Amino acid sequence: MTISVAGAPLLALLLASVRVVAWLSLVPPFSTRGVPAMAKVVIALGLSFAVAPQLADDKLPSTTPEVVLAVVGQTVIGLGMGFVTMLLISAIAAAGTLIDLFGGFAVASAWDPLAMNTNSVFGRFHQMLAITLLLVTGGHLMVIGGLLKTFDYLPLSGLPEIGHWSDILVTAFSMFFTISVQIALPMIAVLFIADLALALMTKVAPQLNALTVMFPAKVGLTLLLLGLSFPVLPAATENLVDLANEAMASMAGA
């Protein structure tokens, strides 16, 4: 029995899966240890099956050096787009970290075994909220769709033109800080005013131990006003998904 396999669709499938796996390795929630590596490979192959038939007609590498160069190129594309997407989606977690910093919870940072980094209390809490909103609203399907559309503009052979990526990365960083500060700004303002009030209290009553009053007061105020940031999270998640898709389209030259 002889089994014949079409070489062009198979090569297109493998090269497309390289880009998708590199993207999934950075973008939450797929990048966490909660998603096994084998599951990422299966997801990448499944997504690649959707685009491989239309890519088989494109110009594909025919020699071993060209295939190696194509694999490197697809890895660069996947990592670049994954980094920008991860950066924008992480803006909500950064807002929680700012709340921890001004609310006095930053000292309670702990190692997160799933994310493989150190997370603060509300930083991790906002990250979980962002991932939940992303999954519930279907935002993860939108960013995956944005990734699959890049196959229409970036070929599977050779190295991509990354000269204009620096401007996109600078814009992504600026949007990351802007959105995170906008989400946490009401809490930051209230906690800053509370710090000023406690500082004036120590001037009025020097015998008052400021450290004894300051930390419990700020912790209680943070817990009381934490809900101020919740109403803006759905709109922020939708905005971040749109920005991630626009960034990937710009990197693809669309």
Q: What per-residue string of b and e applies to 176-199 under the rule 16 or more CB within 10 Å gives b?
A: beebbeebbeebbebbeebeeebe
Lowest mean pLDDT among 16-20, 46-50, 156-160, 191-195: 156-160
pLDDT at 183: 83
pLDDT in tens, 82-126: 899 888 888 888 888 888 777 766 665 655 555 556 666 777 788
pTM beyond 0.85: the answer is no
Mean pLDDT of the chain, nearest integer: 78
pLDDT at 40: 82
Alpha helices, H only, 25-90: 37-55, 64-89
Upstream peptide bond of 29 is cis (omega within 30 degrees of 0):
yes
Instruction: Please name the amino acid found at residue 163.
Output: G
pLDDT in tens, 216-244: 777 777 777 777 777 888 888 888 888 88
Every domain of the chain and the residues it spans? 7-251
Question: Does the pLDDT of residue 6 top 60, yes or no?
Answer: no
Q: Percentage of residues in the chain with pLDDT exceeding 70?
A: 83
